[in-house]
Amino acid sequence: MVKFVKFLLFFIIFQTLLAVFTQFFGIFYFWVIFVPNLLAVLVIVFLFFKNYKIIKFKNFRIDRVAFAVVIISAVTLYQVHYNYTGKYSMVNDVLFQYHEVKNMQYVYPYFSDEWYAVALVKESIKNHSLPLNNPFDSSFFPNLEMFFHSFIAEIMMLFGFDPLTQYTALSVFINTLIILLAYCFLRINNVSKLTSAISSLSILYITCGSNLPGIWNLIPITMGIVLSLIGFCFLSAFDFKMAVLSFVFGALFYPPLIIFYAVALPVYLFSCSKKYVSNN
């Protein structure tokens, strides 16, 4: 579990730094980001086969419960945009007015913050630059969530996604990742597989609304939560340096998280020091 979390953190850091670097120097093109990613994959494959003998594949075991968590989460979140049956409301509806639909497909974002994210991402890809320009008049935009939009733009370009119609597909993937990380966090803390699965899948029941984003949406705090969960996993594994690195990038993606980290980390350090003193 910890190895997977560490790989995920380094993947996010690598893609983020690559995006910001190429956008800052105006060289944000497909082949410029593809080549470093290809080299990174080749290095990972080389190190893997250098340090592990083929015979060890016999001892490899897939966590079937984790696999089931991923499938259930992905299918459930997929249906929100691509096969939705139930009630929905529109912007111009009166309070508590709902419409019934069956098997509705809506490939576009639901939340307003996602729409301006799409605009900034498209502008970044179009101008090969940092997402610091207002998409409507090309004026300077002091984007405090620049790292999030830079990262999303890089992922969109790398995989050839259309930011408008495939933003929701990326949302499904990242929110599924949140649920998987919640499962990993519980397993690292020695919670049983079944309890971890039920608890993590309960995240799907978090309410989403027109003024309350949740597990259906992809906004800066979404990546902040991903990195926070990664940090919590490292704290549980007593890897403080990796936890701090996770929280630093979490704050870059969503700066208001600094407030929570400023409270949580001292409390964690105090509890660890207290535990150390009691054991000695």
- Quickly count: other Cβ atoms within 10 Å of residue 135's Cβ: 18
- The range of the structural domain enclosing residue 92 comes to 2-30+64-271
190: left (phi over 0), alpha (psi -120 to 50) or beta: left
Give the integer Cα–Cα distance in Å for 24 and 35.
18
Do 131 and 143 form a contact (C-beta atoms < 8 A)? yes
Give the integer Cα–Cα distance in Å for 259 and 30.
36
On whether residue 107 sits in a domain, the answer given is: yes
Q: Report the pLDDT value the prediction gives residue 200, as an integer from 0 to 100.
A: 95
On whether residue 279 sits in a domain, the answer given is: no
On whether residue 45 sits in a domain, the answer given is: no
pLDDT digits (tens, 9 = 90+) for 22-38: 999 999 999 999 999 99
On whether residue 40 sits in a domain, the answer given is: no
Give the integer Cα–Cα distance in Å for 14 and 237.
23
Q: Report the pLDDT value the prediction gives residue 71, as an integer from 0 to 100.
A: 95
On whether residue 43 sits in a domain, the answer given is: no
Q: How many CA atoms lie within 13 A of 211 on its CB side?
A: 2
pLDDT digits (tens, 9 = 90+) for 141-162: 888 999 999 999 999 999 999 9
Q: Report the pLDDT value the prediction gives residue 275, as an integer from 0 to 100.
A: 60
Q: Where residue 62 falls among pLDDT bands split at 50, 70, 90?
A: confident
More confident residue, 268 or 71: 71
Q: What is the mean pLDDT of the chain?
A: 87
Please classify residue 165 by burial: count the beta carbons closer than 10 Å to its beta carbon, then call 0-12 exposed, 13-18 middle and 19+ buried.
Answer: exposed
Beta bridge partners of 101: 86
pLDDT digits (tens, 9 = 90+) for 224-247: 999 999 999 998 888 888 998 999
On whether residue 38 sits in a domain, the answer given is: no
pLDDT digits (tens, 9 = 90+) for 2-11: 888 999 999 9
pLDDT digits (tens, 9 = 90+) for 129-138: 999 988 888 7
- Do the strands 84-88 and 99-104 form a parallel or antiparallel pair, or are they unpaired? antiparallel
Q: Could you give the number of structural domains in the chain?
A: 1
On whether residue 51 sits in a domain, the answer given is: no
On whether residue 180 sits in a domain, the answer given is: yes
Please give the C-alpha separations between residue 38 and each of 11, 98, 99, 158, in angstroms, as whole numbers.
Answer: 13, 48, 47, 11
Q: Report the pLDDT value the prediction gives residue 210, as an integer from 0 to 100.
A: 67
- DSSP character string of 240-263: HHHHHHHHHHHHHHSTTHHHHHHH
